[in-house]
Chain A
Amino acid sequence: MGTTRLIIVAVGGQGNLLASKVLGEAALLSDLPVRMSEIHGMAQRGGVVESALVFGDAESSIISDGEADVLVSFEPSEALRALNKCNIKTKVITSLSPVQPFTVAIGRGIYPEIDTMKKLLDEKTGGLISFDAVELAEKAGTVMSVNMVLLGALIQTGILPIPAENVKTAIQTTTKKAFVDINIKAFDLGFEAAQNAS
Chain B
Amino acid sequence: MHKLLVDDPGKQLLLLGNEAIARGAIEAGVGFAASYPGTPSSEISLNLFQMSKESDLYYEYSINEKVSMEVTAAAANSGVRSLCIMKHVGLNVAADVLMTLAYIGVTGGMVILTADDPFMFSSQNEQDNRYYGKLAGLAVLEPSTVEEAKEMMTYAFDLSEELGEPVIFRTTTRINHSNAFVSFSEMKERKTKGEFIKDPMRCVTVPAVARGLHVKLLENLKKAEEIADKSELNRRSGKGSLGIICNGVSYGYVADGLKDLGITDKAEVLRIGFSNPLPKALVADFLKDKDRVLIVEEGEPFMEEAVKATAQENGLTLPIMGKSDELFSRLYEYDPSTVRGCIAKAFDIDYTESEVVDLTDVPEIPNRPPNLCAGCSHRAVFYEVNKAAKDMEMDIICPSDIGCYTLGFLPPLSTGDFVVCMGASSGTAAGFSTVNDKKVVSFVGDSTFFHSGISGLMNAVFNNHNFTYVILDNRITAMTGHQPNPGVDMEEMNFQGYNKIDIEEVVKALGVKHISVIKPFNSRKSIASIKEALDYKGVSVIIAKERCTLYAKSVKKLKGKPFQIVEDKCLNHRDCINELACPAFYLENDAVKINADMCVGCSICAQVCPENAILPVKTKE
Interface residues, chain A, with chain B CB atoms under 8 Å away:
11, 20-21, 24-25, 28, 33-42, 44-48, 58-67, 77, 80-81, 83-84, 86-90, 100-106, 108-112, 116, 120, 124-125
Contact = CB atoms under 8 A, between A and B. Distances in A.
B363 A102 contact: no
B336 A64 contact: yes
Interface string B25-41: 00000000000000110
B252 A61 contact: yes
Contacts of A124: 357-358
24 contacts: A20-B179, A24-B14, A28-B181, A33-B181, A34-B179, A35-B145, A37-B177, A44-B373, A60-B256, A61-B249, A63-B335, A65-B337, A66-B353, A77-B366, A80-B365, A84-B359, A86-B356, A88-B357, A89-B354, A101-B368, A102-B583, A104-B587, A110-B366, A124-B358
A116 B365 CA distance: 12
Contacts, number: 167
Given A41-B122, A46-B371, A84 B356 contact: yes
B619 interface: no
B335 A102 contact: no
Which of A47, A101, A125 is the most central at the interface, judged by chain B CB atoms within 10 Å of its CB?
A101
Contact of B338 (A33, A48, A64, A86): A64
B179 A36 contact: yes
Interface of B: 12, 14, 39-40, 121-122, 145-146, 174, 177-181, 249, 251-253, 255-256, 335-338, 353-359, 361-373, 404, 407, 412, 550, 577-578, 581, 583, 585-587, 592
A87 B178 contact: no
A121 to B, nearest CB: 10
B370 A77 contact: no
Contacts of A87: 354-357
A104 B585 CA distance: 10
Given A42-B370, A46-B583, A83-B362, A88 B179 contact: no
B368 A36 contact: no
Given A35-B146, A102-B583, 19 more contacts: A11-B368, A24-B14, A39-B177, A45-B373, A47-B370, A61-B146, A61-B249, A62-B174, A63-B335, A64-B338, A67-B336, A101-B368, A106-B412, A106-B577, A108-B366, A108-B367, A110-B364, A120-B362, A124-B357
B256 A21 contact: no
A39 B491 CA distance: 33
Nearest to B341: A64
Contact of B356 (A33, A37, A65, A116): A65
A47 B577 contact: no
A58 B180 CA distance: 12
Contact of B337 (A11, A66, A103, A110): A66
A6 to B, nearest CB: 13
Contacts of A39: 121, 177
A35 B336 CA distance: 14
A101 B180 contact: no
A25 B14 CA distance: 7
A20 B178 CA distance: 11
A63 B338 CA distance: 11
